[in-house]
Amino acid sequence: MLGFASGLCSAADMPGHMDIVTKNSGPPSTVQIAQKNIVALNDIQFSIYADALEAYKRNLLAQHTVILALFSSEGGRLMLYRPGKEPLTAEPPTVNYQILKAVAHSSMAIFQLVGPYLADPANQAWRGPMASYRTTNQTALDSLDALDISNEVRDNLRNILHGNLKFMDACLKKGSFTYEDLKQYTQEVKPFLAKNIW
């Protein structure tokens, strides 16, 4: 076992490649030792925080009612914690809720796509992500007729997706966008988004 079976080993007994482990670059300076001693506070603090957090959680749930909301693209989970009782978990949202949520958030994602570039219109880094996102919006629009939803809901979803596509097509064709373009787009989709949220 690397020549250590006898329990004693000198530097001369070790192969040369072991110097990456054994070679000492010299003793640390007084400043380096002091820095390491003080920064070590971080390491122990994290374990103290972790222990304290567990105690806080136990005490909070033992004394107070808590609703925990874990959001996800599917709608997430809601759990109700009541002191002295088993937690209750709400039924997951229906797929129709997920559809309404996905379309409602589709317009917010467009804002996130263009927002960082409003002050730098020459930067074309937004084009690739927008072209890809445009395809996803078009696929969603093409899929609406197959859904088991009312015509009113379907038409509203269609209006939102049409608005998304109209804005993205104009941006991609022009190769740029302005704050005024974005403002006009948001005003056009706003009533449909409000209806969708309702």
DSSP result, 90-106:
PPPPPHHHHHHHHHHHH
What is the spatial distance between Cα 159 and Cα 19, in angstroms, rounded to a whole number?
69
- Dihedral sign for Cα 148, 149, 150, 151, please: negative
In this prediction, residue 149 carries a pLDDT of 92
In this prediction, residue 1 carries a pLDDT of 47
Residue 171, Cβ neighbours under 10 Å: how many? 24
What is the spatial distance between Cα 17 and Cα 7, in angstroms, rounded to a whole number?
20
- Per-residue pLDDT tens digits of the chain, which is 198 residues long: 444 455 555 666 778 777 777 677 778 889 988 999 998 888 888 888 888 999 998 899 899 999 988 877 666 788 999 999 999 998 887 888 889 999 999 999 999 999 999 998 789 999 999 999 999 999 999 999 999 999 999 999 999 999 999 999 999 999 999 999 999 999 999 999 999 888
Residue 78 host element (H or E): strand 77-81
DSSP state of 85: S
Residue appearing with tokens 């820095």: 35
In this prediction, residue 172 carries a pLDDT of 96
Beta bridge partners of 28: none
In this prediction, residue 129 carries a pLDDT of 96
In this prediction, residue 3 carries a pLDDT of 47
